[in-house]
Amino acid sequence: IKFFEMVKKKTCVFISGKGSNLRSLIKFSRNYNFPISVNLIVTNNRNAKGLNYAKINSIPYLIIDVKKRNYELKILNALKKNKISLICLAGFMKILSKKFISEFRKKIINIHPSLLPKFKGLNTYERILKKKEKRSGCTVHYIDEKLDNGKIILQKFFFIQDRYGINELKEKTQNLEYKSFSEALIKIYRYTNF
């Protein structure tokens, strides 16, 4: 019997900080039946700790200076060169321009630490606690031209306990994100023309 190897989608992960979602995606991408391979990492922060995962795993990475006018062009060239067909935004703290989104023309997905459409944007955990929400979670969604707005692929939630401060809420959300990101990728691979 001859088994056909799954052709993994070449993926670029955008990060700005610790890269814990990146670490999780790299780990899952090693499974032979997981639909993506991480082939490029882009960051707007040269001190991002997540770059260590690029180095440890010998994955090419690109550090961009968002103050330079042509930085998006630099990213697009690197995506083309590495034949990237999917972008995963994993804690990338910079909004992509409409021009970039239309130029890339392939799928861009994001993970956000709330149950969208609630709490779009920044300082999510503080705002969730301030509003005394009963539950929270994370959302994996497609990117469109509006902030944290695109079509939802997957959401997971948990109940917020009274004792939760920002640290507890963040830890609980991030642990949920690791599972959610990988499940969302499997879902779009199975059920869409990925």
Q: Select from 102, 89, 99 the least CA-distant residue to 44.
A: 89
* N-term to C-term CA, the chain: 27
Strand extents, DSSP E, 32-180: 36-43, 61-63, 86-89, 107-112, 135-142, 152-159
- Rounded Cα distance between 183 and 76, Å, is 27
- Rounded Cα distance between 68 and 35, Å, is 34
- Active centre residues (catalytic): 112
Length of the chain: 194
CA 171 from chain centre, in angstroms, equals 17
HEC profile for 95-125?
Answer: CCCHHHHHHHCCEEEEEECCCCCCCCCCCHH
Q: Which residues contact 57 (CB under 8 A, 6 or more apart)?
A: 26, 38
Look up residue 33 and give its DSSP letter.
Answer: T
